[in-house]
Chain A
Amino acid sequence: GQQLNQSPQSMFIQEGEDVSMNCTSSSIFNTWLWYKQEPGEGPVLLIALYKAGELTSNGRLTAQFGITRKDSFLNISASIPSDVGIYFCAGQLMGSSNTGKLIFGQGTTLQVKP
């Protein structure tokens, strides 16, 4: 079945450092989404990308929709302790836009040392 490969699996960084994570697939997507999940809660949408090549920012977060439609990255600049959590990429396959079904990556666990 379709799969998103997300890396790295986990990161342990110092406060103030920049963070980068990415997702790749052999399938083509028409939408890429980035979510953050904190313990005991559901995923919260951070950034949505709808066009190949699109680069979008949300505060200290920046994400891009790869030009091939098969990948996306998320950058977090100047990390702070509240950035701790699990970050998931999610994509919607080409041709499935009428259902909204999302495929999720395995997640990147981020820990920030003050």
Chain B
Amino acid sequence: NAGVMQNPRHLVRRRGQEARLRCSPMKGHSHVYWYRQLPEEGLKFMVYLQKENIIDESGMPKERFSAEFPKEGPSILRIQQVVRGDSAAYFCASSSQGGNGYTFGSGTRLTVV
């Protein structure tokens, strides 16, 4: 019974490139959450998705960031034209129903050089 799987674990991108972060929720989970963690800080909510729908994107930057959770396949967090300030750990969590009983993945550490 695999947990929340995120890949890649580490991602290095040059400024201006695109970053695509993948999250496969736990089996049977249809709710996915993305959080960002800057060094020495707590996690900050970005977006909440349920299969094919964005439920709450109040934490997403207005530009360059997008998220999807298609009917088939993993959830994707996409960052276009990355800048140094995007360097952070990005965590995904999933649950079987809305609410806070969710499990976090091990995260993707994005470094923009």
Contact B48 A48 (CB under 8 A): no
Count of A interface residues, CB-CB < 8 Å:
25
* Assembly CA distance A33 to B107 (angstroms): 19
Contact of A43 with B91 in the complex, beta carbons under 8 Å: yes
Tell me whether A66 is interfacial, beta carbon within 8 Å.
Answer: no
Q: With the chains together, A16 CA to B32 CA distance in Å?
A: 39
Q: In the complex, are the beta carbons of B55 and A41 less than 8 A apart?
A: no
Query: Does any Cβ of A come within 8 Å of B105's Cβ?
Result: yes
Determine whether the beta carbon of A41 is less than 8 Å from that of B106.
yes
In the complex the two chains form, is B42's CB within 8 Å of A106's CB?
yes
Contacts known (A40-B106, A42-B107, A99-B55); A104 close to B98, Cβ less than 8 A: no
Interface string of B81-113 (1 = CB under 8 A from A): 000000000010101001111111111000000
Chain B residues within 8 Å of A, Cβ to Cβ: 4, 31, 33, 35, 40-45, 48, 55-56, 58-59, 91, 93, 95, 98-107
The 6 A-B residue pairs with the shortest CB-CB distance in the complex, in nearest-first order = A104-B42, A42-B104, A104-B43, A100-B100, A99-B56, A100-B99
Question: A interface vs B, CB < 8 Å?
Answer: 4, 6, 31, 33, 40-45, 48, 88, 90, 92, 97-107
